[in-house]
Structure 1
Amino acid sequence: MASATISGRAGSPKSPRKKDKTHFLYIAVILAVVLGAALGLMAPEFAKGLKPIGTAFISLIKMMIAPIIFCTIVLGIGSIAKAATVGKVGGLALGYFIVMSTFALAIGLVVGNLIHPGEGLDLAAGAESAPKAAEDAEGLSGFVLSIIPTTLLASLTGESILQTLFVALLVGFALQKMGSAGTPILTFIGHLQKLVFRILVMVMWLAPVGAFGAIAAVVGETGIDAIKSMAVLMIAFYITCALFIAVVLGSVLKVCTGVNIFKLMRYLGREYLLIFSTSSSEVALPRLIAKMEHLGVSKPVVGVTVPTGYSFNLDGTAIYLTMSALFVASAMNMPLELGEQISLLVFMIIASKGAAGVTGAGLATLAGGLQSHRPDLVEGVGLIVGIDRFMSEARALTNFTGNAVATVLIGTWTKEIDKEQVTAVLNRERPFDEATMETEGHGEPQAPDAELEPAAVR
């Protein structure tokens, strides 16, 4: 893990922290949603004319899908290789992350199918001209052949996200086989990813304008029903995340370690406040490392599990992606068939690794999933733009909790945990010393190959 991330001690209460300008973006999006909804209710005909504004913003997001998927998948495969070299700890961590992320994605699909968020809005008008992926593929053979691009570079310039994913996987595994000879190429792709994410950040500053146009047009067309549907999605998402933490993560933690999830969450209370105020779990990364070590988990396990989890264990983001996809499909009166949902889930398992790191990457991943399976639904992502920020806190808190639970689990499975210390700490007999956050280098991963760059999970 990059030492600069830790040495900055973003989570330390005494360390100066550069003001996060995205707070202004957060406020602007909220104001834009409120104003757009109000305009849609008061002047529906005028509001409908603002639809191209939201469409233009979605086009900008679509423009970023292919490079984001390509860079993050290639670099993600490289990170998996690094974690695997750590041995038993890395292997267990990666296996657990894949299983839990898949389970979280499946839960999002189940809840979405139960509540049918967005049902009745019927926003399909104007989307009929977009080709359906199912219609383009002549059966299974046609679908498989459509994944193979005409040239290697064509996958980055065409509209097929599955082709981009396919080539990214080929490049990633090829670079693994090249060993040290592939390092310069990985470094170049890493720089390219920074450029792509920088452009995405610039695009996201237009989110208030895009959200205003999209929400105004939708409310102007459907009235109060749009507001109700978005509220249903947000409430359902928060409830699902809460149940996932308390029931799923809590049960796994209790059965495997005997630790009570609520005691662990109480121990991490200050970190939750920090995450809730910033909508990002990145700021709590150094504190999570320090607190997991204080809890009794060995430094090598913490040093591998936490940074790897920040990129690969995104339970909250997984639930968000599948629930949002079903919301868009229902709102446009084009529900996804069971087969499409399953294939979308498989796509999201891989592509969701690109949902960490930058504001807007989650939206790009959602758009990428819809583009790969049902291009006619991508336009509906404009609905999510307006409420994405309202769901960011739940995503970040769920992701953070999932990584804390994973660290205790991996420590238990590898027998690298002091159970007596765990009991004492969670019973408040040995409180965490905040002064240790000021110790230079505290929280540095100790595992020799755990050089995984953590990402801001939003």
Structure 2
Amino acid sequence: MRSQEQLLDSASARPPGKRWYRGLGAQVVLAMVLGIAVGFAFPDLGADLKILGDLFLALVKAGVAPLVFFTIVMGIASAGDLRKASRVGFLALVYFEVVSTLALLLGLVAANLFGVGKGVDVEDATGSTEAPGAAEGDHGFTAFLRDIVPDNFVGAFSSGQLLQVVVLAVIFGIGLLALEPHLRGRINGGLEVVSEAFFGFVNIIMRLAPFGTFGAIAYAVATSGGGMLLALAELVLQYWLVIAVFVFGVLGLVCLVAGFNILRILQYVRTEMTLVLGTASSEAALPGLLRKLPLIGCSRQSVGLVVPTGYAFNLDGTSIYMSICTLFVANVYGVPMGLPEQLGLLAIMLLTSKGAATVSGGTFVVFASTVAATDNLPVEGIGVLFGVYRFMSMATAFCNTFGNVVATFVVARWCGEMDVEKVRGALADPNAFLARAEAEGSAEPTAPDQDPADQDPADRDAAPAEAARTAPTTLRK
């Protein structure tokens, strides 16, 4: 059995004859460029192409809920005992709350420094676009608690609310731990087979990502690109800047403290992050992340608990969007927002940001709910931002997704659910590691389900080769 270093060395040479444009990431980038060109040159056609993006995201969403369910259940079951799973979940929630609060504070500080929305003509802004009816209904804390518990098992999957699926999966996984070991083993085996089938389903959908990206970008440019007000254009640029500061500043510091290089991590998941930028949807990257993170050395338990839960509770980009855009509306309509008002706004956003939908447009729904919950901000102000939301949602989805990638690395390291040497070896040259996985026919990204310190040294050396031998071939380009 070859050691990890030998496997990495054998993968230093990429498979010969592979064209650059055959990679999914390159195809998505080309689709983005083509979509921009069509949106500007043929706006009517670009507006009609929205259906391509909608269909692609609908197909992705159809497979995400089952994948999340199986991943969480198998992650809890692999822990072997409830106390171990509870530790990972608790530390993950603590991390989510701290980092999300930092994101909200950064958004408020940046909004005050930039003076977002000041000097905007309210009539011109609201007259150019129509606000959706997203803010209607009960969006209080009681409603949030009521909505996270589904009224039936199947309804959680059909409703499109990922948080309900997470709740069911956690309860189901805990129930599996109470079974006899021989029964639990048989059920786990069946769940793995079904999970592989869903990964194959989503892998086929991912091949359609360039078409979805092309349609989504063409629509965004055709409907908003030419008629943007100067203030909204500045807001978009400022928002992207704040997202960059958070990703490379705040998350970069978190990675540094945990002992990782954020640029190396970003390079490892570059295909998934490119897909997120193109579709403006965090869910588009979820299947690939559920493959790649265990493959690099994070335990299946940590990935299965942290990533899906983070999609509901660790929405850093959504937090920044809400804080900046809420102050934008306040400034547009001349609503005074001093320190006490902003602290109250922060408390509201800490609640409304939890459980936001991760599909494109979900952040805007939560933002509309926040504006409605403040009572002193005009709901009509939502329309000011509706036209440029698409351009901001790409940065929002990127930050949300990459924030959960970083959270998985950090929580796995804290809980001893990581093969640290394997991770560091892979991040030393992510391209070589991925090439080795492809050359070895890797695809079940299995990682040690126990603390690496408790493993036999021979098992630690064999794990990378075993993962390369058994892993499926989906979503690895």
Give TM-score, length-normalised by structure 2.
0.58
Structure 1 residues 297-336: aligned runs within 5 Å:
297-336=298-337
Q: Is the 8 A contact 1:436 1:442 kept in 2?
A: no
CA distance in 1, matches of 2:116, 2:139: 30
Q: SS at 2:410's partner residue?
A: helix
Give yes or no for the alignment of 1:242 onto 2:217: no
Q: Is the 8 A contact 1:281 1:396 kept in 2?
A: yes
Which amino acid in the other structure matches residue 421 of structure 2?
E
Q: SS at 2:397's partner residue?
A: helix
Closer, same or farther: CA 443–437 of 1 in aligned 2, 3 Å: farther
How far did residue 89 of structure 1 move? 0.6
Structure 1 residues 38-57: aligned runs within 5 Å:
none
Q: Is the 8 A contact 2:275 2:284 kept in 1?
A: yes
Deviation string for 1:22-80 (max 9, x for gaps)? x9xx9799769x99xxxxxxxxxxxxxxxxxxxxxxxxxxxxxxxxxxxxxxxxxxx9x
Closer, same or farther: CA 29–236 of 1 in aligned 2, 3 Å: farther
Q: Is the 8 A contact 2:299 2:448 kept in 1?
A: no
Aligned to 2:107: 108
Q: Is the 8 A contact 2:276 2:284 kept in 1?
A: yes
Deviation string for 1:334-372 (max 9, x for gaps)? 242333322222222222234323332222211111111
Q: Is the 8 A contact 2:361 2:393 kept in 1?
A: no
Aligned to 1:252: 254
Aligned to 1:171: 146
CA distance in 2, matches of 1:347, 1:322: 10
**Unmatched 5+ stretches in structure 1:** 1-12, 36-78, 128-158, 176-182, 195-204, 220-225, 448-458
**Unmatched 5+ stretches in structure 2:** 1-21, 45-71, 77-81, 127-134, 162-215, 451-477
Structure 1 residues 288-367: aligned runs within 5 Å:
288-367=289-368
Q: Is the 8 A contact 1:112 1:323 kept in 2?
A: yes
Deviation string for 1:109-128 (max 9, x for gaps)? 1100111111011417999x
Q: SS at 1:353's partner residue?
A: coil
CA distance in 2, matches of 1:346, 1:437: 50
Structure 1 residues 138-157: aligned runs within 5 Å:
none
Closer, same or farther: CA 329–184 of 1 in aligned 2, 3 Å: closer
CA distance in 2, matches of 1:398, 1:425: 23
Structure 1 residues 14-25: aligned runs within 5 Å:
none
CA distance in 2, matches of 1:307, 1:242: 24
Q: Is the 8 A contact 1:286 1:443 kept in 2?
A: no
How far did residue 292 of structure 1 move? 1.4
Q: Is the 8 A contact 1:354 1:365 kept in 2?
A: no
Which amino acid in the other structure matches residue 384 of structure 1?
L
How far did residue 412 of structure 1 move? 0.8
CA distance in 2, matches of 1:370, 1:29: 34
Identity %: 35
CA distance in 2, matches of 1:298, 1:309: 16
CA distance in 2, matches of 1:436, 1:307: 29
Q: Is the 8 A contact 1:311 1:353 kept in 2?
A: yes
Q: Is the 8 A contact 1:101 1:313 kept in 2?
A: yes
CA distance in 2, matches of 1:348, 1:249: 20
RMSD: 4.6
Give yes or no for the alignment of 1:421 onto 2:396: no
Q: Is the 8 A contact 1:237 1:320 kept in 2?
A: yes
Deviation string for 1:100-152 (max 9, x for gaps)? 1111111111100111111011417999xxxxxxxxxxxxxxxxxxxxxxxxx
CA distance in 2, matches of 1:28, 1:371: 37
Q: Is the 8 A contact 1:303 1:446 kept in 2?
A: no
Aligned to 1:73: none
Q: Is the 8 A contact 1:293 1:302 kept in 2?
A: yes
Q: SS at 2:289's partner residue?
A: helix
Structure 1 residues 407-446: aligned runs within 5 Å:
407-428=408-429, 431-432=433-434, 433=436, 435=438
Q: SS at 1:301's partner residue?
A: helix
Aligned to 1:281: 282
The count of corresponding residues between Structure 1 and Structure 2 is 332
How far did residue 160 of structure 1 move? 8.6
CA distance in 2, matches of 1:320, 1:236: 11
Closer, same or farther: CA 264–376 of 1 in aligned 2, 3 Å: closer
Q: SS at 2:116's partner residue?
A: coil
CA distance in 1, matches of 2:337, 2:423: 45
Q: SS at 1:334's partner residue?
A: coil
CA distance in 1, matches of 2:421, 2:347: 40
Q: Is the 8 A contact 1:122 1:333 kept in 2?
A: no
Q: Is the 8 A contact 2:419 2:448 kept in 1?
A: no
Q: SS at 2:353's partner residue?
A: helix
Closer, same or farther: CA 164–270 of 1 in aligned 2, 3 Å: closer
Give yes or no for the alignment of 1:391 onto 2:401: no
